Structure 1
């Protein structure tokens, strides 16, 4: 299944290994009633994560390609930025679609709450509440003792 979805034997092998590593790290494999379904679910989520990371990396590399050569970051910096973008993406996935959209419109696009409300057809109060949820979620992701 992984080979079919990824179209690459090496990537499929890497994700298969990641799948088993994740299952073993959870240490709940002996309690599984449907091990095949569980394997499929974990591996499918890892494939989705792989494609999201690839899309982020490509967007970043495309943005870098439009920069003058003198301002191009080192390969190490590129790797660090891609990893940071992937971590941010994982955190934002925990928000509802609307809250994530509002949060990104404010934080990335620099839009004012009034403009966001007007564009989305909601009240400023809805935007404020979504921003509070977004900030609380990000705070929990960064400062929670459970975060790894």
Structure 2
């Protein structure tokens, strides 16, 4: 998008017309000026990446939808961080990871969480029952009310997502 193209002009107008409103909306949702500023910026970056048509019929509705998704991801990340930090508090101090290790673990947990969200609910549940609870496929099938064959399909879907996560 060149600086003087119609798309750049439309984006510039959209940004100047709606950034303040979006920032305020996010600030009310999040209660943090810093997080609101960051997510407002991320919303417009997503808009640039999506390359919508030059004119949006309902720009605030579009921006709200994109921003809402970012807010949900933000809250999920915070919940993962709190859970991880809570688990760390239970460890002896000499075993506590460095700040760099913590950041890597939190980033990895967020990637795993996003991967799990891409799975269908039953596939996600089957994967978690196998990995966290150590259930057999037969036990998972009984608990989910599906066939063993279906559990194998669910696990194949989950493993594919794991492979894609590792490959990225």
RMSD of the alignment, in Å? 1.7
Could you tell me which residue of structure 2 aligns to residue 75 of structure 1?
99
Could you tell me which residue of structure 1 aligns to residue 157 of structure 2?
133
How many residue pairs match? The answer is: 144
The answer to which of 112-121 and 93-102 deviates more is 112-121
Return the offset for 1:138.
3.0
Equivalent-residue separation in structure 2 for 1:106 and 1:28 (angstroms): 41
Could you tell me which residue of structure 2 aligns to residue 122 of structure 1?
146
Q: Is the 1:23–1:29 contact (alpha carbons within 8 Å) kept by the matching residues of 2?
A: no
Q: Specify which of 107, 110, 115 is matched with residue 86 of structure 1.
A: 110
Q: Is the 1:3–1:9 contact (alpha carbons within 8 Å) kept by the matching residues of 2?
A: yes
**Structure 1: 5+ residue stretches without partners:** none
Q: What TM-score results when the alignment is normalised by the length of structure 1?
A: 0.88
Equivalent-residue separation in structure 2 for 1:4 and 1:19 (angstroms): 16
Q: Specify which of 77, 94, 97 is matched with residue 53 of structure 1.
A: 77
Equivalent-residue separation in structure 2 for 1:31 and 1:109 (angstroms): 50
**Structure 2: 5+ residue stretches without partners:** 1-24
The answer to which of 39-48 and 21-30 deviates more is 21-30
User: Relative to 1, partners in 2 of residues 1:131 and 1:31: Cα closer, same or farther, differing over 3 Å?
Assistant: farther
Q: What TM-score results when the alignment is normalised by the length of structure 2?
A: 0.78
Return the offset for 1:142.
4.3
1:107 aligns with 2:131: yes
Larger of the two Rg values belongs to structure: 2
Could you tell me which residue of structure 1 aligns to residue 43 of structure 2?
19
